[in-house]
């Protein structure tokens, strides 16, 4: 009878734990950020012209997980020297993961099977993924009881199940699920096995095993906004202490984070990763609807929300500015302080141009004179200036800018910020509708579907395949290209800047 009740108790425990780890299915709609793992060199995605895809829905093999776990220990470079003969008959010396498997076994993170096989291409189940993470943290020797409840229990105690979405613990784990588990492990205290027994470290795995420091605070210094050295960032910490660090991750542009509260991970006095902590609801990317100088308030276009700017830092095109300088419908980013008041108001007023040529040696960009905005120069002189050039989110050099590409740029003092766009829409122009007194919507008939494109503040049309352009000032100016196959060059916001009829 006693054994009978023990068996029932065991089954109830299993059911409880499996319900604990099955809160929701991991699906295509799950939004996961694995950029920290990537910055630390723990995971790598599949990169193409559209960005990096971590393939979160794909399964993960034992060899792949061994590689991930060893990388999480910071031993990736060591695995190269450990590559060679293994103790498993199904893992030859030339196997791509032999070095990582050797180290994973040496550190008791993962083991083979009694028949001297490792089964490197076999998929890892969710419970196996949890067990490997528990061992990675050093808690393996302390786990008692029967598999798999023992490891699931320990993983739950360590918080590895928090905010992890799992479809079925008995099925193969996906890359996304495993990455979530490792993310949780990074912030967990590892266990030390010493002469006097076991004890938890006084810091996270991230800090104690990878030698990484973490900072939280507000970005108050960047290259263009405050004149820091290029690719440096200053963060105001608690107690008004400030830390200034170089940014080595080429995908991080410090100026994009000015005024935001962030968490930074730093190693070797260099920023590897930066995560925004400011509530998304406190970041307003919008335009100016109206302002009241007497009340020191600003009304936002998107929500008609009125906010106080009495204590706000106001910048226009990276320079110190004031409420009076902000024009109606100018683009702004307002960062609220958590109580509904503006802490930062950042106004950016871009000019759009079409590249005619680039003089790298003279540090100049030549724009089409017949596609210039009113009052703007046809030459962007970059000599002696603090310059940042991007194509999308990727930083590029001056020499990578091509003739015929669209530029959106800001020139302010000795700073110049340039965004290059090569996005094009093609199709037959079927109609044009008025949006405002100076903007329109172009309706295109494309091969697969029809689309509508809003025009930019200024738009130029060419009827001779780009040999010359004419500024559009009224709807009738589109008449020469109506019903024709056209090529639409888009600006950084995806709006039509130039229309070319072949």
pLDDT tens digit sequence for 220-270: 999 999 989 988 999 999 888 999 999 988 788 999 999 999 999 998 888
Is the omega angle on the peptide bond into residue 91 within 30 degrees of 0, that is, cis? no
Of residues 163 and 498, more confidently modeled: 498
b/e code 422-454 from CB counts within 10 Å (16+ = b): eeebebbbeebeeeeeebbebbbeeeeeeeebe
pLDDT at residue 47, as a whole number: 60
Band the pLDDT of 31: cuts 50, 70, 90. Answer: very low
Of residues 250 and 122, more confidently modeled: 122
Band the pLDDT of 10: cuts 50, 70, 90. Answer: very low
Give the helix, strand, coil percentages of the chain, each rounded to 5.
25, 35, 40
Band the pLDDT of 32: cuts 50, 70, 90. Answer: low
Do the Cβ atoms of 345 and 334 come closer than 8 Å? yes
pLDDT at residue 81, as a whole number: 92
Residue 473, C-beta contacts closer than 8 angstroms, at least 6 positions apart:
none
pLDDT exceeds 80 at position 24: no
Percent of the chain with pLDDT over 70: 90
Mean pLDDT to the nearest integer, 449-462: 91
The tens digit of pLDDT for each residue in 422-436 reads 999 999 999 999 988
Do the Cβ atoms of 342 and 373 come closer than 8 Å? no
Q: For residue 93, how many other CB atoms are within 10 A of its CB? A: 11
The tens digit of pLDDT for each residue in 46-62 reads 665 545 667 888 999 99
pLDDT at residue 57, as a whole number: 86
Would you say how long the chain is, in residues?
Answer: 502
pLDDT at residue 320, as a whole number: 94
**150 exposed, middle or buried (CB, 10 Å; 0-12, 13-18, 19+)?**
middle
pLDDT at residue 251, as a whole number: 80
pLDDT at residue 417, as a whole number: 94
Least confident of 98-102, 146-150, 168-172, 301-305: 168-172
The tens digit of pLDDT for each residue in 274-305 reads 999 999 999 999 999 999 999 999 999 988 99
pLDDT exceeds 90 at position 7: no
pLDDT at residue 378, as a whole number: 93
Beta bridge partners of residue 354, listed in sequence order: 406
Q: Is the dihedral of CA 315, 316, 320, 326 positive or negative?
A: negative
Band the pLDDT of 80: cuts 50, 70, 90. Answer: very high
Band the pLDDT of 165: cuts 50, 70, 90. Answer: low
pLDDT at residue 195, as a whole number: 76
Least confident of 341-355, 360-374, 430-444: 430-444
Of residues 14 and 93, more confidently modeled: 93
**411 exposed, middle or buried (CB, 10 Å; 0-12, 13-18, 19+)?**
middle
Q: Cα 396 from chain centroid?
A: 18
Do the Cβ atoms of 188 and 181 come closer than 8 Å? no
pLDDT at residue 167, as a whole number: 57
Of residues 163 and 370, more confidently modeled: 370
Of residues 299 and 9, more confidently modeled: 299
Percent of the chain with pLDDT over 90: 69
Mean pLDDT to the nearest integer, 113-130: 94
Q: Name the average pLDDT for the chain.
A: 88
The tens digit of pLDDT for each residue in 369-405 reads 999 998 888 999 999 999 999 998 788 999 999 999 9
């Amino acid at each position: 009878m006693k054994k009978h009740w023990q068996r029932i108790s065991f089954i109830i425990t299993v059911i409880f734990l499996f319900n604990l780890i099955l809160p929701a299915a991991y699906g295509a709609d799950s939004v996961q950020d694995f950029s920290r793992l990537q910055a630390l060199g723990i995971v790598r995605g599949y990169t193409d012209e559209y960005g990096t895809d971590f393939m979160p829905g794909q399964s993960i093999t034992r060899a792949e997980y061994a590689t991930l776990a060893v990388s999480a220990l910071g031993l990736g470079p060591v695995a190269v020297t450990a590559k060679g003969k293994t103790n498993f008959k199904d893992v030859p010396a030339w196997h791509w993961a032999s070095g990582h498997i050797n180290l994973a076994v040496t550190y008791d993170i993962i083991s083979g099977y009694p028949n001297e096989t490792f089964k490197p291409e076999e998929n890892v189940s969710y419970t196996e993924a949890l067990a490997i993470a528990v061992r990675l943290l050093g808690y393996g020797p302390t786990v008692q009881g029967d598999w798999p409840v023992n490891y699931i229990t320990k993983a739950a105690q360590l918080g590895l199940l928090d905010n992890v979405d799992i479809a079925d613990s008995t099925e193969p784990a996906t890359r996304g699920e495993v990455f979530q588990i490792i993310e949780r492990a990074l912030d967990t205290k590892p266990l030390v096995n010493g002469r006097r027994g076991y004890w938890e470290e006084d810091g996270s795995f991230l800090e104690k095993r990878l030698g990484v420091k973490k900072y939280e605070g507000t970005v108050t210094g960047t290259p263009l906004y405050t004149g820091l050295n290029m690719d440096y960032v200053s963060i105001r910490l608690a107690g008004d202490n400030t830390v200034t660090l170089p940014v080595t991750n080429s995908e991080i542009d410090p100026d994009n984070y000015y005024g935001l509260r962030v968490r930074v991970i730093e190693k070797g006095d260099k920023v590897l990763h930066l995560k925004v902590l400011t509530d998304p609801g406190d970041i307003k990317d919008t335009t100016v609807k109206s302002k009241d100088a007497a009340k020191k308030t600003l009304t936002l276009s998107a929500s008609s929300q009125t906010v106080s700017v009495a204590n706000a830092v106001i910048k226009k095109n990276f320079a110190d500015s004031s409420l009076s300088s902000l024009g109606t419908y100018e683009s702004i980013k307002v960062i609220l302080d958590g109580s509904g008041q503006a802490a930062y108001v950042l106004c950016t007023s871009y000019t759009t141009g079409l590249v005619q040529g680039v003089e790298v040696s003279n540090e100049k960009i030549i724009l089409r004179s017949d596609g210039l905005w009113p009052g703007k120069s046809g030459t962007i002189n970059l000599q002696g200036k603090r310059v940042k050039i991007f194509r999308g989110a990727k930083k590029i050099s001056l020499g990578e800018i091509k003739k015929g590409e669209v530029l959106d740029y800001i020139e302010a003092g000795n700073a110049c910020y340039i965004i290059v766009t090569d996005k094009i829409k093609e199709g037959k122009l079927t109609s044009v509708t008025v949006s405002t007194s100076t903007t329109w919507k172009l309706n295109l008939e494309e091969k697969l579907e029809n689309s509508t494109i809003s025009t930019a503040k200024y738009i130029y049309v060419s009827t001779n395949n780009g040999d010359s352009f004419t500024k559009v000032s009224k709807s009738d100016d589109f008449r020469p290209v109506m019903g024709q196959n056209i090529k639409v060059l888009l600006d950084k916001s995806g709006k039509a800047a130039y229309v070319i009829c072949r």
